[in-house]
Structure 1
Amino acid sequence: MGLGRGGDAFAYSLRSRTEDDAGTNPEELLGAAHAGCFSMSLSDLLEGAGHPATEISTTARVTMEEKGGSFSITTIDLVARGHVEGIDEETFRRLAAQAKETCPVSRLFASATITLDAALDASLGG
């Protein structure tokens, strides 16, 4: 499968979803897209609030479950850490919650439960 503007190839298969097979699967690719979109949205909100981030690191764990004979993405767990000078934890978490609600990929996944664990992390940003 080709991905991105450069058409980089990624191997994926059903076994990469259900076993420890090499490659990736659609859920991992969707998680990567969600983490990237969330990070971009949070970065924009932080900059707009006068606190540009030195670094934002986000992961997204996508859970797929069988319901009624069909598989659905039911939960996405976002974990975000940021290195942001001059901001308090409460403001960072408030802006992260806003990014979770407004990023386009979060809105796409509105039928899933999206959780968020956001915190400042001074070890990021060099």
Structure 2
Amino acid sequence: MTHSHEQNLRNARELTRLAAQWLRVISFAAFPGAPVFSASVCHYHAMLDPATSDADRLSACRAMHECVLRRADVEDLEGQSKRLRDRPVDPYGAHWHTTSDGAALWMIAHLLSCAIRGFEAQA
């Protein structure tokens, strides 16, 4: 295995760990009534356990990415609705049009997407 190959895998693993930490910080649940992202969720272990295989880590990232994007869309709708009601000053049109959780979810989705690409490139 080349140095760059091993470094790319380390980067993908680190991105996975960061995404999992963020999911835990925001008490992510895939849908109302679902378990919060924690030790009670199988993907939690696949993303955080150092002994997990990269194939299982990739599978967990793909599954969580889909869930995160669905929830981010919901948060975007809520944020856009609030924005229409409150009409905040945004002269450059650069402010997030989502909720705080939505902004965090989009960043988590980005981390997961980069991790997925990293794992897939090494397969």
User: Normalization by structure 2: what TM-score?
Assistant: 0.34
The structure, 1 or 2, with the larger RCO (C-alpha pairs under 8 Å, 6+ apart) is 2
Structure holding more helix per residue? 2
User: Normalization by structure 1: what TM-score?
Assistant: 0.33
Structure holding more strand per residue? 1
